[in-house]
Chain A
């Protein structure tokens, strides 16, 4: 997987004729997106869209059964994340989390 170019990491504050240089195509987002969908999300921290508490995802309450995994806030019971695995796809609904924060690898 190609890493995002350094340019994509910088804030886009370009003006005038230099703006085009900062416009890169979707491939550059692939690097950032692959950092969002990591094999293990349980050490990431999620802010509950209900009560606003931020917790490690591993500390949230999981209701897991054959249909899917529903992850709820232990404080207010709101659904923070939902995941369904079908034979061909994984569906993720993270709309119950205001934000998800993952520590970067210090390489």
Chain B
């Protein structure tokens, strides 16, 4: 191990918080903005959301159609792989279960994997099982107000049980896939799955 820096403690947590934190995380009251590129600013009039089936069928919603879908509120902790966690974040959005059900009515059939595709080119991949059963939303409200652009607005994917890089900002499409394909960070050293409770940060982590 490298030499210990005398007196260096890093950030310290009170015990009550420690129990709620996945391994290696610390609590923040801020909401840090991490960006891999300039913030996209798509006008809502041009925004649409696509559910793309592996077989070629698609379902597309304009912004007005999208926010008219049955929505849900959720309060959840979120965990970033850069080690900050934020407790009790409040979101409102459309459950991915709802989107899949609406898509099925239009002939879009499920596939085992999904790739989220976003304005600005960001992508992230997940097994379909991780975004169904009430585990994921396309969120467009944060803390009671429209989701700010720097935090992924107008809409982002929200998958809070996984590291927050999977909650892709500026999401525009869920592409269903027969085979898994790594997204932006998964292809460059990050864990393909990303469970914070098993500390699956990097490729090769158990």
* B positions within 8 Å CB-CB of A: 34-38, 80-83, 121, 165, 185, 187-190, 201-204
The secondary-structure label for the interface of chain B is loop
Chain A residue numbers with a CB within 8 Å of B35 are 63, 65
- Does any Cβ of B come within 8 Å of A55's Cβ? no
Whether the pair A84, B190 counts as a contact (CB closer than 8 A) is: yes
Whether the pair B204, A70 counts as a contact (CB closer than 8 A) is: no
* Interface set, chain A 5-50, CB cutoff 8 A to B: none
Whether the pair B202, A68 counts as a contact (CB closer than 8 A) is: no
Chain B residue numbers with a CB within 8 Å of A89 are 189
Whether the pair B190, A66 counts as a contact (CB closer than 8 A) is: no
Whether the pair A87, B202 counts as a contact (CB closer than 8 A) is: yes
Whether the pair B34, A67 counts as a contact (CB closer than 8 A) is: yes
A91: min CB distance to chain B, Å: 4
The CB with the most chain A CB atoms within 10 A, among B35, B36, B190, is that of: B36
Whether the pair A79, B121 counts as a contact (CB closer than 8 A) is: yes
- Does any Cβ of B come within 8 Å of A86's Cβ? yes
**Assuming A79-B121, A82-B188, A91-B188, is B204 touching A67 (CB within 8 A)?**
no
A87 to B204, CA, bound (A): 11
Cross-interface CB contact of A86 among B34, B36, B121, B202, cutoff 8 Å: B202
B86: min CB distance to chain A, Å: 15
Cross-interface CB contact of A66 among B38, B83, B189, B202, cutoff 8 Å: B83
* Chain B residue at smallest Cβ distance from A72: B37
